A and B are shown apart, each in its own frame.
Chain A
Amino acid sequence: MDIPYTVHARPDTGLYNAKIGIWLFLASEVMLFGGLFSAYIFLRLGADYPWPVHDLDVTLGFWNTIVLIASSVTVVMAWASVKLRRYGQYKIYMAITVICAGVFMFNKSLEYKAKLKHYAVKLTDGTILTGHMPEDEHHNTIPYRIKFGEITELSLTIPVKKSAITADPVGYVIPHIEGEAPKFKTADGKEITLDDAAFAELSAAAVEKAWAEGKGSATVKLTAVTPLKAAAKPSEIFGYTADSITFRDGTTAKGKLLDDKMTLLVDGIDARGVAQPDKSLAFDHRYLGAWQPAFVANREHHIAEFEENYPTRDKEKSATLQKESLFYKIHSSTPPAADAAHGGDKHGAEAHAPAEGGHGGGHDYPTVVIDKKDITFFSNFTPKLNTYYAIYFTLTGLHGLHVVAGALVLLYFLVFNGRMLREDPEHLANRIEVGGLFWHFVDLVWIFLFPLLYLL
């Protein structure tokens, strides 16, 4: 017994089952992206920082749009070809569609990759410096680490009652310590390497003792046999002072702070969040002091231009002007320092949107060594950076997943449905129509994504 209306439409509704199915599915997809777009509205209206406009690579986005539109045309042509029984054409069109999907995803991966290596550092006065971390000779990024030396003593706090976060030096401390299997001495003089078994033994004994004494937690002290060195991302530790460092599990190590300065190859100074932009911390003499005249010149140039073009408009309210005049972009060909000031040189100052920062090397960028105390927040251009990049990655990521899924389905039709094409082309046409509907929907979402994220 077969389920009716799988190929031919039911007379009173005029639809075959799969068509109803796909439209219902699309309705739910509309709600999915609707939810995401409303989150976008919410975040954008609530943003307490200048919302990035034209920050992404518009050219890349533009070509991706064209690619998707082309694939939308070819997929509908593929369907028409099957309906007209032009099988050769069908295969070509379908193949082009799938290739388009590949191109789209390739471009996307370029876009994503550039962002991972690009950093933004927010200083205490609201200035944001963008740039790259230095690289070694193999083009590997040298990451930012808090470095400690002469670590002699670890102090673990082990709660008696089991709780979600307990002392776990094996997981939270040892990975940051240089060298293989460091050795420690316990209070009673035994020499151990800290691994799971040793720690379990240690903590069991300590907890038992604390329980007997009626204490809530036990403290265990370990002495390093030879002084140790440690390096950790700021997010991997709770905090540190000049002579101690606290890891995420609450373990404290005594030692000496070696280095907590961040080195950045700066490619942009965003002073929009600063009350007096030309007094930004970025122009402190330790940092980019020499670039201040260039920045001021650039700003004046843009303001003058704006006033000439839009004499009646309030320049405080133009987001574009704010960005042009206060987000000073340094390109590798920007004339360094004071030279730029004289030319008021537009080309130099604007350069190519380095926010995309395709260049890994960047040896021409000014290298700045920033004090930890001046940094409030830093991140690479990932969802962590701000809500714009968060929603950008979520929207484009989910959209990308849809592209991949859709392409796989179409590819399946192309490769595995040869027999159906010969024997039951009407059924295959239905399948392609359904797959195509999904594909058009993916295109339709992009039509909104592109302006919202890249342009406006």
Chain B
Amino acid sequence: MSATTLDHDHAHAHDHHEPGFLRKYVWSTDHKVIGLQYGLTGLLFLLFGFFLMLLMRWSIAYPGEPVPAVEAIRNIPLIKDLFEAMFGRWLNPDGSLNGELYNMLGAMHGTIMVFFGIVPLGFAGFVNFVMPLQIGTIDMAFPKLNMLSYWFFFVSGVLMMYSFFVGTGPVQTGWTMYSPLATTTTLGVTNVWQHGHTWWLTAMVFNISASLLGSVNVIATIINLRAKGLGWMKMPFFCWAMFVTAFLLLLAFPPLEVAAILQLSDRVFGSSFYLPTGLMEGGKHLDISGGGSPLLYQHLFWFLAHPEVYVLILPAFAILTDVIPCNARRPLWGYKSMVYSVLTLGFLSFLVWAHHMYLTGMGTMMSTYFQITTVLISVPSVILLTCLMISLWGGSIRFNTQMLFASAFLPMFGIGGLTGLPLAFSFIDLAMHDTYYVIGHFHYVVAPGTIFALFAGVYHWFPKFTGRYMNDKLGKLHFWPSLLGMNLIFAPMFIQGMAGFHRRWYDGGKYFENTSGFTHWSTTLTHKVGAFFGLDIPDNMLSLNIVMSVGAFILALGQIPFIINFWFSIKGGKKAENDNPWGATTMEWATPTPPGHGNFLFEPVAHRGPYEYSVPGHPVDFFPQWESEHGKPKPDGSDAPAKTEHAATHH
């Protein structure tokens, strides 16, 4: 394995100029490096978004109380200035959060998690690293565009972060950026470049361009560069799910771009796309022509944003369809129905967007239509989940870290999905809309759902990136607190939401006595547990805020083992025994570890379907796609039918 890789790399280096560090890791066109770049940037953004959330949770649980450690931070040189510029300048003089800062944190948390964390890591990161290997090709169809895609994304990230530093601070109007509020805020400041908002919109334009380039690349690669023998129905489900995701990105993002351009025009040129006639602010008519409609914004936004939520979840399914069969040593159950489901899901996800808009008064016919499609779309989602569950049936499951995360995903996503169903009905949504119930719903899908799957993916492919395993003990130390923390945060949200807690209250409902006075077994329990530890937690809905904040804290602690594990294992982890340490069947495991430039040492040919685990009569419990018969060709290519003519021209 690694020895051969080294040789391979050497041979390579002599023919070309030694690619310098910059060419190799920064301006790289190699899909694996780009995948890593995307993945690492995504992880960093996830961490940052998580940090924003911790600040918010503090304010919710302890409104009006100084944020702990602020004083300490304000004493560290350098960090102090950074903290002051980003957050400190908005804090109350006593160091507590106020509504304005909370709004900034909330908006940026949502934006960063969705557009800068999960999509780059889950989609761009994994698809870039894994997909070309799985379909047995040497790189993406357009490597230069691929590099451009990452750098567009990078620029968009920089612009987004820059918005923390400008005059008005970052946006305050939620990740959904609803007009007219989002159109008119901070317009008092005439220099538009001092508006966090302008930077948000500009960053989004770059972000959209990046995902456009990325998705064109992914689709073209899957269509045209599949290895010999890899027919559509032999393709791992991972690639199918990513293929559909790429289509969602390709076709759903442009309307968001439209939405952003029109909003920018409203703000900068004073047009009225989203501003109705007669709009007033502060008792004065605005200097606008009017004639537009806030509904237009919502339509354009949700046309993207619903498919976007499937962009968040499909990579999770993609990863799990590799992790679960591999660790259950069972073929994926219902591969075909999963493929058709995911295609249906992709299509339907474009037709349900206005279920986010039941309360806008968009009209009864629209509501009816969108209720029907929304209920329909849960069918393919359920099929996907069910297939994954049945795949476990009769398996001999290896509970390594990735499998723990994978198996926790199933119930967590189940909760998230099932709580979405009631929301599909407009009459229930009337009560639930914009409450914590909705927050609970989508966080269950995205956080213990998608993020767990992403962790599973990291643990699963780590040996391919680096040739070393991640530590299993630390992995478990990562998993259990995460599971506990996630549920402590998100489960109480359903209770609170049904009690009428509105989202985006920076003080966690403290000043809304009517909605926070209820008791419930969960609040009583909290009260009693608190008393046991000598804490005075009131017996009402507000107590759940404290539970959630404790959960967030546990979750934060739980990530420390992961970070240590990740960096430590790169150099110090246990070495993987061979190129296919998990005994997997898909083609990425046929490459040397880590795969060199050009990936394969022999021309991979797909001889069978992707999930041939525990084939009766086969000497081992997996039968990889690339083997014509057991053990052939050897992974180092030594007995492969001489390297292809491509290789010949190359060397």
Contact = CB atoms under 8 A, between A and B. Distances in A.
Interface of A: 1-5, 10, 13, 15-18, 20-21, 24-25, 27-29, 31-32, 34-36, 38-39, 42-43, 46-49, 161-165, 171-172, 234-236, 238-239, 248-249, 377, 379, 382-387, 389-391, 393-394, 398
Contact of B270 (A28, A234, A383): A383
Interface string B243-270: 0000000111111011101100100011
Contact of A379 (B289, B300, B646): B289
Given A5-B225, A27-B251, A387 B273 contact: yes
Contact of B271 (A162, A165, A248, A387): A387
B296 interface: yes
Contact of B257 (A1, A32, A47, A384): A32
B139 A3 contact: yes
A387 B292 CA distance: 6
Interface in B50-64: none
Interface in B82-102: 89-90, 92-93, 98, 100
Nearest to A172: B190
A163 B220 CA distance: 49
A163 B92 CA distance: 11
Contacts of A398: 261
Listed from nearest, the 10 A-B pairs whose CB atoms lie closest are: A383-B271, A390-B271, A35-B258, A35-B255, A32-B254, A31-B254, A164-B168, A384-B270, A165-B188, A1-B598
B189 A24 contact: no
Interface in B108-147: 137-143, 145
5 contacts: A5-B141, A24-B216, A28-B250, A28-B253, A46-B293
A173 to B, nearest CB: 12
A162 B91 CA distance: 9
Interface residues of B, number: 68
A20 B251 contact: no
Contacts of B168: 164-165
Contacts of B491: none
Nearest to B261: A394
A24 B219 contact: yes
Contacts of A239: 284
Interface of B: 89-90, 92-93, 98, 100, 137-143, 145, 167-169, 186, 188-191, 212, 215-217, 219-220, 223-225, 250-255, 257-259, 261-262, 265, 269-273, 277, 284, 287-293, 295-296, 299-300, 303, 597-598, 646-647, 649-650
Nearest to B185: A164
Contacts of A46: 291-293, 296
Contact of B142 (A10, A17, A383): A17
A162 B90 contact: yes
A386 B272 contact: yes
Nearest to B252: A31
A42 B169 CA distance: 33
Contacts of A49: 291
A385 B300 contact: no
Given A2-B646, A32-B258, A164-B168, 9 more contacts: A5-B141, A17-B220, A28-B254, A36-B258, A39-B262, A43-B293, A46-B291, A165-B188, A390-B292
Nearest to B285: A376
A36 B260 CA distance: 11
A4 B100 CA distance: 54
A48 B138 contact: no
Contact of B224 (A1, A15, A236): A15
A384 to B, nearest CB: 4
Contacts of A382: 269-270
Nearest to B138: A1
A39 B271 CA distance: 14
A21 B142 contact: yes
A236 B296 CA distance: 28
B323 to A, nearest CB: 29
A386 B251 contact: no
A42 B455 CA distance: 43
B255 to A, nearest CB: 4
